[in-house]
Structure 1
Amino acid sequence: MGGRWLVTGCSSGLGHALAGAAARAGHELAVTARKTVDLADLTAAWPGRITPVPLELRDADSCEEAVRTAVDRLGGIDVLVNNAAVGLFGAVEEVSDAELRDQLETLLVGPWRLTRLVLPLMRAQGHGHIVNVSSVGGRIAFPGLAAYVAGKHALEGMSQALAAEAAPHGIRVTVLEPGMFATRYGSSLTEARHRIPAYDATNREMLEGARGLADHPDTGRPEDFAARVLDVVGADAPTPLRIPVGDDAYGYLDLADVAAREELTAARALVQGPPPVT
């Protein structure tokens, strides 16, 4: 039986692929973008299954209206996918307060707000699934992407707390951590207005890599991401809270796990000192 989905960020990339795959699988969806004209191809391909909804994620009234529209058109919400995202490139010293707030509004505050709006509906019906699309950047950091990484780390922390709070009400929570996928992330990446040449040697290669992400030979296909989401949402057995998506994501996080263990060992040695001589 199909479910009722609200999916953000569907004008392109991962969200666009997911919307089409979910509709093909028999689900009904309210899909969002800032401009609904960017959703015209999805609406035309899946009339009656896809409802386009305008959403400015940083605006509280727009979020409330999007949830109301989804409930009115679908009769409820079984699955919320917080997918919409945008990246900001800049060293910590380069990013202004306003730029940081804008990044966190999109990556953390907006998804938190939508989650808060759908939770009463899901608690009342006794089931639901909240899928927060993070990144490998939700567990590791990259130079020049401090603001983006901060938002994704925060989203994962919120999700971990939410999972414990929501489980008694029959609500599942999943964090997806994609690696490299062929999306507009790199081309739409904005740069901090204030640039400091001293950081070019550290950050320039990362920026160039992000810009060329879609053309990288190891970049994943959004359709593969969409298939993984459908598998996770459709799973009968309990699934892990955090699920990397893409072979490269597992590689990155394996390395991060080793580094974290080494750091913990070094910290313990620093605090406790060398073992006593016997």
Structure 2
Amino acid sequence: MTDVALITGTSSGMGLHAAVELARRGLHVVATMRDVGRATPLQEAAAAAGVEIDVRALDVVDHEAAARLVAEIEVELGGIHVLVNNAGQGSVATAEQLSMQQIQDQLDINYLAPVNLTKLVLPGMRERGNGRILTVTSVGGTVGQPFADAYCGAKFAVEGFMQSLAVVAERFGIRVSVIEPAAVASSFVANVVRPEEGGPYAALLGAYVSRTSGAFANAQTPESAGAAIAASVMSDEYRFRWQSSESATAFAGVSLADLDGERVLGFTRPWIAAS
């Protein structure tokens, strides 16, 4: 039976290319997006690659809809063997410029949505004794950055959740990992939530935007990032932490000496060892 991969956020960018690459590797890919009317680029990319993609609607912040979708896939396709939590949204603003609702929105899509989907697929994976869960975080999940307070906070949170889960899930044959892209040339930037111009932070924000624009001018292609996502989730080598490019590895290394996550997992594994 063909393994089934569920991947979120596939209407464009690295999620689109990761979905196509996973299908090329022989998986039945259920690719989700909020509006299936935007599926044409994915379908065209799949056709060009000679693969088929199972496109379904999902707003990842709708937890009840996510539960219904997972249940449908379990019945129709026999289970979910791979989950790729890719959907996300950025935010460019510092604390004083953010409303609590904007902070909540960042937590909803970047933290609570992947947590919910992970919870939903765990029972089936545990019962089958195998599964792979990969969450696309960011170098912003390892290095806090100016004017990314809410975004980095949510990405730090989801990395902490997944790292804590990893050694427990491992006991049931389930691999839990994260992958940290740096700048990727995609519509992600266009969807970033930004504050109104002006105010006491205007000069600082201007400098940040100028620097960031330069980084995205030399960004990793979405094709390359998507291929890295697929390669990470399908690798025979297990690592908790992956990066999508050499530049992402260098960036994450500013904060992390433990680049593949094994040091932390090796430290925490004995905490759940039977006496």
Residues 154-233 of structure 1 mapped to structure 2, 5 A cutoff: 154-192=157-195, 197-210=199-212, 214=216, 216=217, 218-233=218-233
* 1:122 to 2:121 alignment: no
Aligned to 1:8: 8
Residues 1-278 of structure 1 mapped to structure 2, 5 A cutoff: 2-43=2-43, 45=46, 49-192=52-195, 197-210=199-212, 214=216, 216=217, 218-237=218-237, 239-257=238-256
Give the CA deviation at 1:196. Answer: 6.3
Deviations 1:206-227 (A, max 9, x none): 234445665x1x3111222222
Give the CA deviation at 1:174. Answer: 0.9
2-structure distance, mates of 1:80, 1:91: 32
2-structure distance, mates of 1:209, 1:65: 43
2-structure distance, mates of 1:244, 1:138: 11
Q: Which residue type is aligned with residue 69 of structure 1?
A: E
Contiguous gaps of at least 5 residues in structure 1: 259-278
2-structure distance, mates of 1:134, 1:148: 10
Give the CA deviation at 1:247. Answer: 1.7
Secondary structure of 1:103's partner? helix
Secondary structure of 1:256's partner? coil
Contiguous gaps of at least 5 residues in structure 2: 258-275
Give the CA deviation at 1:139. Answer: 0.5
Give the CA deviation at 1:68. Answer: 2.4
2-structure distance, mates of 1:126, 1:106: 28
Of structures 1 and 2, the larger Rg is shown by 1
Normalising by the residue count of structure 2, what TM-score does the alignment of the two structures yield?
A: 0.85
2-structure distance, mates of 1:12, 1:244: 20
Give the CA deviation at 1:243. Answer: 1.0
2:4–2:81 contact (8 Å) kept in structure 1: yes
Following superposition, which runs of at least 4 residues in structure 1 exceed 6 angstroms of deviation? Answer: none
Secondary structure of 1:58's partner? coil
Deviations 1:31-68 (A, max 9, x none): 11100111234346459842111111111212112212
Question: Is the deviation greater in 55-64 or in 221-230?
Answer: 221-230
Q: 1:257 to 1:168 in 2, by over 3 A?
A: closer
Q: 1:13 to 1:48 in 2, by over 3 A?
A: closer
How many residues of Structure 1 are paired with residues of Structure 2 in the alignment? Answer: 254
Secondary structure of 1:9's partner? coil
Q: Which residue type is aligned with residue 16 of structure 1?
A: L
1-structure distance, mates of 2:207, 2:73: 42
Q: Which residue type is aligned with residue 134 of structure 1?
A: T
